[in-house]
Structure 1
Amino acid sequence: MTSPSRIDVPSQPVGRLGDAWRACVGTGRFDLALRRDYQDSLAVIQRDIGFRHIRGHGLLSDNMGVYRPYEWQGQRRMLHAFTYVDQVVDAYLDLGIRPFLELGFMPRALASGDQTVFWWGGNVTPPSSHREWADLVRATVAHLVDRYGLDEVRTWPIEVWNEPDLRDFWKDADQAAYHRLYEVTALAVKEVDTSLQVGGPAVSPGADDGWLARFAEFVEERGVPVDFVSRHAYTSGPAQHVPFGSHQTLAPAGRLLEQFAAPRQELKGTRLAELPVHITEFNSSYCPDNLIHDTAYNAAYLAPVVAGGGDLVDSFSYWTFSDMFEEAGVPTALFHGGFGLLTHRQVKKPTFHLYAFMARLGDEVLARGDDHLVTRHPDGRIAVLAWAAAGADGHTLRLSLPAAGDEVFARRSHVDEERGNAYRAWRRMGSPRSPRPRQLDVLHEAAEPGRSHLRLPVRDMRASLDLALERNEVTLVEVEPVVEEAPPWWDEGRLLGGGTAG
């Protein structure tokens, strides 16, 4: 077997690392944010990663209690109540994250039908009255502006509905009905203030049949405002259901990047061609009960996507930050294949560490390749993100890094099948559905990355770094010059005494 050639990393940057990867993260339905475990989990996410926005379903569903018709003195009247909305948004802002508002689903009292989606019953039919829907949207947005200020709410993208191209999420996947909803909604938002950002159509990965082009044609003909375009991206095949779980095939991870690029390709030559593109959901599998999400494979699979997706879109939102989700019902076990970067009770999954490693990269890009991304911080520290191809045997990556001084200190953090992999430990302890406190302690411990440290010589202002990557490994190496402060008389050879003082 031939040794891999060494990659000479240039000392001058070849670009900058944007933060589209951390611009947004997904969440379960809006009212889950009222729960303690949810807020505890989001605090961990914000401490170690720090997303800017958070998006989820159900802002206008009955669980939030916003749309409240009532009878008084023989007349039907309307109250728009924001008790829960305020609590959720306050919690978000306290944790340093802003809403990416998705307007949906339909309140039952305003719905034109009884079709619902998910265990918790989000209504997916058009409004029985577009006038009352517009009043609801206008009142909600106006309340947010009044409470949080126009300058703040201008930074919150407002998305109209979720995956209307799918019958499960919009009755009959009726595009004409969606276009009407979008027009009424966008105009209502702009009545509050024209500077607010409104967009859509939040189509699914299967919407490559002209949905976006027809949407662009409609808004252009009607002069309807659109400030951004949104779609979703997943690479899993049809679900093979088992009790409380799903299995699926996966296309190569590069297919996600192709889906990221699709909106701008489809919208060339339209009024929407130069608008920001937001991937408001992405992951490997679209099922919230597929164990792939809990594995080291998922982290390695998504590493090239997270490292490179910002070259194609303005944001791409991992679906989701936590396993507190419940679309398919209340989870039956701690590890159950949930979308989250964290399980319930804040056990970190390998993909959590992929994001936490990204948060420790520098702004300057020195080099990138199929299995690595090399960056530099303003103070000169170098940070290397490297990964093995998902499912393949590990390999060795050999880098020659620009360096100063005589030696450098290298700090390595890594996750793979054995390290930073609480799912593996959970399986070995018998897959307890409700781990006892002692078992949870073990799982939290097993979830921490492997860590090691090296001191490397510098020759001709270069340091050689050889990384042996294990199967499904994602690793971060942080390199900085050694500033030696040990006194000249210190001799580790004399730890046990003996020898002669110099």
Structure 2
Amino acid sequence: MNRVLVPSSPVGPLPSAWRECVGTGRMNLALRADYQESAALVQQEIGFRYVRGHGLLSDDLGVLRESQGVTRYTFTYVDQVVDSWLRIGLKPFLELGFMPSALASGNQTVFWWQGNVTPPRSHDDWAALVRAVLRHLIDRYGLEEVRTWPIEVWNEPNLTQFWQGADRAAYFRLYEATARAVKDVDASLQVGGPVLSPGADDWWAPFADFVASRDVPVDFVSRHAYSSGPAQHVPFGVYQTFEPPQALLDQFDAPRRHLAGTALAGLPVHISEFNTSYRPDNPIHDTAWNAAYLAPVLAGGGDLVDSFSYWTFCDVFEEENIPTSLFHGGFGLLTHRQVRKPTFHLYAFMARMGASVLARGDDHLVCRDDDGRVTVLAWQPLGGSDDGPYGSAPATHEVRLRIPVPSDVAVVRRSVSETEGNAWTAWRELGRPRNPSARVLDLLHDASVPALRHSALVAVDGHVDLDLVLGRHEVTLVELLPVTPDEHPGLDDARLLGQGVVG
């Protein structure tokens, strides 16, 4: 295998798009202790900037209330949710949806918690609601703060599950009423859409034509990205096939491709949801395969979009009803009770990467900090379902790099794979307990810790050769730390057993 020669000069900064936003279950869930503990852990070890979830205007947050002919806007729960996010450094990425039942034109709902997905009976009343929500948020958190919060209109209106009839004209009307209401509150607030699911690129041109012809405000565009095939249902779960990781990057790039030459060309692009599977009950989310598959997406996605938001940060999530097992294929980086999944560690590894990119390849990303610390993220390349059944990837994968360094280096390596840093594997070996005891839960937390190795390399002619052998589905982070030995007169490791002559 050829050795990759890493350049000594950076090619540019490491884009931060991978950590700009993360997804969450519906906003009401942020009132729960397990959710708040998970969010705090994610912020401590990864540190996202924004969080996006459904249900801001759904009935379980109680924003729009009616009693005996009197309408009241109520922010009791909204304030608690937003306060809890801001306390730990998360800003809201506001999704305006779903429809309050008091304003809905029909009874169609989505998810176990029944978010209403019908248009408003009155667009004037809807616009009044939007203005009331934003004015309250500005009163509470300040205009300068709320100006930094993107405001997205609805969720995946091209799907009949999320928008009655997937009626494009009706969504355009809703978008216009909403965007104008947002700008009525303050012209500098950021509003965008159309929040498309995969497979809806035929909406881009009509959306661009509509907003341009009617001079409707658009500050950014957004869509979602998933790479899984149709669901193959089993009790309390699904299995799916997967396209190669490049399919996700192609979806990231789709808005800019389709909007080139339109009035919306050049706008910021936000992938406000992405993952491998679009299902919250696919076991793939819990595996090391998921982390290795997504590694090149995190490494390269920032070249294509302004943000891409992993869906979601924890398994406190109830779209398909209450989960029936600790590991159940949930979207989360964390299970309930904060057991870290391999994909959590992929994100934590990215958070440790240096600021400037030296090299990027099919199986590695090399970065450097100004103090000379070099970081290497390496992974076993995966090609989706074409690789064969789960676990059929090669047993090992080699990455060989020649890296410029200012001195000898200490080498610290952290790894997750099928056997290391993998609580899901341990859970299977323990018999797949749906409701682990406290003792078993402690064991799963222990099993979720990445393997850590350390060594040293001597620099030769200003570089070191780093040879990595990765296991199946492994993602590894290597830190090369410049070494300047301190003086310790009299120390001699050869005499640790007291041997030798003194005098």
State the TM bucket, normalised to the shorter chain.
over 0.9
Q: Say if 2:61 is the partner of 1:61.
A: no
The aligned counterpart of 2:486 is: 485
**C-alpha RMSD of the superposition:** 0.9
Output one character per residue of 1:457-478: Cα deviation in whole Å (capped at 9) or x when no partner. 1111111111111110100001
The aligned counterpart of 1:432 is: 433
Q: Say if 2:457 is the partner of 1:456.
A: yes
Q: Say if 2:240 is the partner of 1:245.
A: no
The aligned counterpart of 1:399 is: 401
More moved, 483-492 vs 100-109: 483-492
Equivalent residue for 2:113, pick from 102, 120, 136? 120
Aligned counterparts of 1:29 and 1:104: Cα–Cα separation in 2 = 10
Q: Say if 2:164 is the partner of 1:190.
A: no
Q: CA deviation at 1:501?
A: 4.1
Q: CA deviation at 1:122?
A: 0.4
The aligned counterpart of 1:206 is: 199
User: What is the percent sequence identity of the aligned residues?
Assistant: 66
The aligned counterpart of 1:88 is: 81
The aligned counterpart of 1:379 is: 371
Q: What is the letter of the counterpart of residue 177 of structure 1?
A: A
Aligned counterparts of 1:10 and 1:256: Cα–Cα separation in 2 = 28
Aligned counterparts of 2:78 and 2:456: Cα–Cα separation in 1 = 52
Aligned counterparts of 2:437 and 2:487: Cα–Cα separation in 1 = 46
Q: Say if 2:42 is the partner of 1:45.
A: yes
Aligned counterparts of 2:444 and 2:370: Cα–Cα separation in 1 = 36
Q: Say if 2:314 is the partner of 1:322.
A: yes
Aligned counterparts of 2:64 and 2:436: Cα–Cα separation in 1 = 40
* Length, aligned pairs only: 493
Aligned counterparts of 1:432 and 1:486: Cα–Cα separation in 2 = 53
Partner of 1:114, secondary structure, is: coil
Partner of 1:195, secondary structure, is: coil
Aligned counterparts of 2:304 and 2:404: Cα–Cα separation in 1 = 29
Partner of 1:400, secondary structure, is: strand
Q: Say if 2:388 is the partner of 1:358.
A: no
The aligned counterpart of 2:388 is: none
Output one character per residue of 1:321-357: Cα deviation in whole Å (capped at 9) or x when no partner. 0000100010000000000000000000000000000
Aligned counterparts of 2:96 and 2:502: Cα–Cα separation in 1 = 76
Q: CA deviation at 1:382?
A: 0.6
Q: What is the letter of the counterpart of residue 65 of structure 2?
A: R
Partner of 1:455, secondary structure, is: strand
Q: CA deviation at 1:7?
A: 1.3
The aligned counterpart of 1:347 is: 339
The aligned counterpart of 1:19 is: 16
Aligned counterparts of 1:70 and 1:218: Cα–Cα separation in 2 = 38
Q: CA deviation at 1:14?
A: 1.1
Aligned counterparts of 2:283 and 2:204: Cα–Cα separation in 1 = 32
Aligned counterparts of 1:438 and 1:491: Cα–Cα separation in 2 = 44
The aligned counterpart of 2:297 is: 305
Aligned counterparts of 1:213 and 1:175: Cα–Cα separation in 2 = 12
Q: What is the letter of the counterpart of residue 55 of structure 1?
A: R
Equivalent residue for 2:149, pick from 133, 146, 156? 156
The aligned counterpart of 1:138 is: 131
Q: Say if 2:170 is the partner of 1:180.
A: no
Partner of 1:340, secondary structure, is: coil
Aligned counterparts of 1:237 and 1:364: Cα–Cα separation in 2 = 36
Q: TM-score, normalised by structure 2?
A: 0.97
Q: CA deviation at 1:484?
A: 1.7
Q: CA deviation at 1:494?
A: 1.9
- On the 8 A contact 2:259/2:265 being kept in 1, the answer is yes
Aligned counterparts of 1:161 and 1:500: Cα–Cα separation in 2 = 80
Output one character per residue of 1:31-79: Cα deviation in whole Å (capped at 9) or x when no partner. 10000000000000000000000000000000000001222xxxx3311
Summarize the Cα distance change of 1:486–1:425 in structure 2 as closer, same or farther, 3 Å threshold. Answer: farther
Partner of 1:206, secondary structure, is: coil
The aligned counterpart of 1:337 is: 329
- On the 8 A contact 2:299/2:365 being kept in 1, the answer is yes
Q: CA deviation at 1:362?
A: 1.0
Aligned counterparts of 1:207 and 1:290: Cα–Cα separation in 2 = 23
Aligned counterparts of 1:163 and 1:486: Cα–Cα separation in 2 = 63
Q: CA deviation at 1:486?
A: 5.4
Q: TM-score, normalised by structure 1?
A: 0.97
Q: Structure 1: which 4+ aligned runs deviate by more than 6 Å?
A: none
Q: What is the letter of the counterpart of residue 329 of structure 2?
A: G
Output one character per residue of 1:237-265: Cα deviation in whole Å (capped at 9) or x when no partner. 00011110000000111100000000011
Aligned counterparts of 1:203 and 1:180: Cα–Cα separation in 2 = 16
Aligned counterparts of 1:275 and 1:148: Cα–Cα separation in 2 = 27
Q: Say if 2:158 is the partner of 1:165.
A: yes
- On the 8 A contact 2:372/2:406 being kept in 1, the answer is no
The aligned counterpart of 1:443 is: 444
Aligned counterparts of 1:354 and 1:33: Cα–Cα separation in 2 = 24
Q: What is the letter of the counterpart of residue 479 of structure 1?
A: L
Output one character per residue of 1:145-184: Cα deviation in whole Å (capped at 9) or x when no partner. 1110010001100000000000000000000000010000
Q: Say if 2:125 is the partner of 1:98.
A: no
The aligned counterpart of 1:494 is: 495
Q: Unpaired runs of 5+ in structure 1?
A: none
Aligned counterparts of 1:13 and 1:367: Cα–Cα separation in 2 = 8
The aligned counterpart of 2:473 is: 472
Aligned counterparts of 1:167 and 1:116: Cα–Cα separation in 2 = 10
Q: What is the letter of the counterpart of residue 378 of structure 1?
A: D
Aligned counterparts of 2:430 and 2:471: Cα–Cα separation in 1 = 23
Aligned counterparts of 1:80 and 1:490: Cα–Cα separation in 2 = 73
